[in-house]
Amino acid sequence: MRQPLVAGNWKMNGSRAGIAELLSGLKAGIGQVTAAEVAVCAPAIYISDVQQQLEGSAFKWGGQDVSVHTSGAYTGEIAGPMLRDFGCHFVIVGHSERRAYHAESDELVAQKFAAAWAAGLVPILCLGETLDEREQGATESVVARQLDAVIAQCGIDTVGEGVIAYEPVWAIGTGRTASLDQAQQVHAFIRGRLAQSNQSVADGLRILYGGSMNPKNAADLLAQPDIDGGLIGGASLKSDDFLAVCAAASD
Ligand code: PGA
């Protein structure tokens, strides 16, 4: 039985005051316990505020990116041990926006996964095809290539310590959600691919869906057999919406 996980990805949104308000809404709404694991991934500069407000609540928190290095002359980067220092549990690696705007290769993403794991973080590995790739029928080969790079770098057992998020790029922030069949099909494909390396890792690993998931469509998506939670962008910026998705995952 895989415990559902709902993780918010705030991306580069919010202000210190706005985030304080969002956090108090989240804390008030969630109480101490949910059946689902719940988390928010904040802009790095606000993580200390997040830690102060969420410590002792049901929420965990995390970063949105991590350096492959542990320290040194890497201006602007944030190391895994630094995220741990502020109580981060998770970190997103290989988000499509990092792949697209920062030219992150499959190999670099795999190194980030390894660095996150070595620092004691749980990496949330994002995989997903662009619209062009889907239209060319390349969805499975793209997702397999992205996943295989991490298995090759880290080994299947370490991959099993993380979380996977399938995020079709064309569904991110567009209001255009993958259909239940489209999402389930790719999730099952990813699980099958993992099973080729290790069946028990495949059975235990949580595969989240991300891409315009919201309070209206969450329950149906989460009812799919291979969808184990969500990575939520836009709908994580309003406490009521995010709590509604958390509640759908806890049912
Ligand atoms: P979205 O973003 O929910 O706004 O589509 C999801 C994500 O990019 O993680």
pLDDT digits (tens, 9 = 90+) for 113-124: 999 999 999 999
pLDDT for res 31: 74
On the 0-12 / 13-18 / 19+ scale of CB atoms within 10 A, 225 is exposed
- Ligand 1 mean position to 173 CA, how many Å? 5
pLDDT for residue 251: 83
187 noted as active-site residue: no
Residue 163: what pLDDT?
98
Neighbours of 240 (CB within 10 A): 11
* 64-88 pLDDT, tens digit each: 999 999 999 999 999 999 999 999 9
Q: Which residue in 57, 21, 56, 63 sits closest to 40, CA to CA?
A: 63
Question: Which of 129, 213, 237, 241 gets mutated to test ligand 1 (max ligand atoms within 8 A of its CB)?
Answer: 213
For atom 2 of ligand 1, which residue has the closest CA? 233
Pairing relationship of beta strands 163-166 and 122-127 according to DSSP bridges? parallel
To the query of whether residue 102 is one of the catalytic residues in this protein, the response is no
* Residue ranges in the chain whose pLDDT is less than 70: 32-33
